[in-house]
Chains A and B, each alone.
Chain A
Amino acid sequence: EADIYQTPRYLVIGTGKKITLECSQTMGHDKMYWYQQDPGMELHLIHYSYGVNSTEKGDLSSESTVSRIRTEHFPLTLESARPSHTSQYLCASSEYGQFYGYTFGSGTRLTVV
């Protein structure tokens, strides 16, 4: 079944650690996105990609980085986690074209202690 997967679902990690949040989709979508969502619910776009080797920063500045070496894979990395990075991170993908909405993963809830 075509879907989008995020791992881990929950992560508690100490300050200063390097972490990578995984996102993979099996739908062959060219476009992929990372959103940060704080407890206040609002979604903030932090990174997006329109294809392999293409990555752009989103509307909200983030210390994280992303890569897109394969169409199906769009990992997000924090080199040195801080408590301010505590949040939920949502990955999404879409087909090319304005008719299409996004398909979201289940999210990773990150807590940095």
Chain B
Amino acid sequence: AQSVTQLDSQVPVFEEAPVELRCNYSSSVSVYLFWYVQYPNQGLQLLLKYLSGSTLVKGINGFEAEFNKSQTSFHLRKPSVHISDTAEYFCAVKAAGNKLTFGGGTRVLVKP
């Protein structure tokens, strides 16, 4: 079985400041990792994914994430946020069985 823990339910951040959203997972087998963003009243949109290779993954809208196998983490970062980054962010893991398991989500509120 696999599980995903997003350590922060809400992250307030000022515009142009950096932000990091923390994600830890547990799985007994190799996994593939994903970050999704959900804007208000929308579905989820894929930000980035880690399948293999370089542990630093770059995604859309200036986001990046780093896979750390020893710490079973996949934290999402952006060096400078905009007001438009206000949204909910979901970390997800996929292993054997082929279904995504989502974390509880982190709400990012960017303040001017």
Instruction: Verify B32–A42 contact, CB threshold 8 A.
Output: no
- Specify which chain A residues have a CB less than 8 angstroms from the CB of B104 in the assembled complex: 41-42
Instruction: Verify A98–B98 contact, CB threshold 8 A.
Output: yes
Sorting the interface of chain A by its residue count into under 10, 10 to 19, 20 to 34 or 35 or more gives 20 to 34
Chain A residues numbered 35-51 whose CB sits less than 8 Å from any CB in chain B:
41-43, 45, 48
Which residue on chain A has the smallest CB distance to residue B107?
A41
Contact with B along A4-17 (1 / 0, CB 8 A): 00100000000000
- Specify which chain A residues have a CB less than 8 angstroms from the CB of B51 in the assembled complex: 99
Instruction: Verify A107–B42 contact, CB threshold 8 A.
Output: yes
Instruction: Verify B107–A107 contact, CB threshold 8 A.
Output: no
Instruction: Verify A101–B46 contact, CB threshold 8 A.
Output: yes
A residues with a Cβ closer than 8 A to B are 6, 31, 33, 41-43, 45, 48, 90, 92, 96-99, 101-107, 109
